[in-house]
Amino acid sequence: MIRVVLPFHLRTLARVDGEVQVEVQSPVTVHSVIDALEARYPVLRGTIRDHVTLKRRPFVRFFACKEDLSLEPPETPLPDAIVSGAEPFLIVGAMAGG
């Protein structure tokens, strides 16, 4: 199972607490994790990436093992620690304000 940490507003939207877990077939990529997430939580469709183009929304960022993967191709395999469940995949709302 892949552990996913959602930002506060998406947790309240999906009505979940803490981390969520999704089953993802290999290869585990940003794209396949979000596919699984959207299949499990349909209310999240369109909130992380565009419905049609599947492009990441501009102010949503992806992190794995302290690395920012937001600009990596979505088919890039995620680190083993994510695949094994040792580390969570983080979906983060970009910082606003100042």
Partner 1 sequence: MSKVRVLVGTRKGAFVLTGDGKRKDWQVDGPHFAGWEIYHVKGSPADPNRIFASQTSGWFGQIIQRSDDGGKTWQPPGSRPEDLVGPEGMLKGESNKFVYEGHVGTHKWYDGTQHPWEFKRIWHLEPSLTDPETVYAGAEDAAIFKTTDGGKTWHELSGLRNAKGHLWQPGAGGMAVHTIILHPKNPKRIFIAISAAGAFRSDDGGETWRPINRGLKSQFELPDPDAEVGHCVHRIAMHPSRPDVLFMQKHWDVLRTNDAGDMWNEVSGNLPSDFGFPIDVHAHEPETIYVVPIKSDSEHYPPDGKLRVYRSRTGGNEWEPLTKGLPQKDCYVNVLRDAMAIDSLQPCGVYFGTTGGQVYLSADSGDSWNPIVRDLPAVLSVEVQTLP
Q: Which residue, 26 or 58, is less far from partner 1 as judged by CB?
A: 58
Closest approach of Cβ 81 to partner 1, in Å? Answer: 26
Measured between alpha carbons, how far is 18 from 15 in angstroms, rounded to an integer? 10
* Residues at the site binding partner 1, with contacts judged by CB under 8 A: 7-10, 12-15, 40-43, 45-48, 51-52, 57, 59-60, 93-94, 96
Give Cα 2 distance to the centre of its chain: 10
Q: Which residue, 26 or 98, is less far from partner 1 as judged by CB?
A: 98
Closest approach of Cβ 25 to partner 1, in Å? Answer: 20
Q: Which residue, 22 or 83, is less far from partner 1 as judged by CB?
A: 22
Give Cα 50 distance to the centre of its chain: 13
CA geometry: angle 18, 27, 62, nearest 5 deg: 40
- Side-chain-side CA neighbours of residue 32 (13 Å): 15
Closest approach of Cβ 18 to partner 1, in Å? Answer: 14
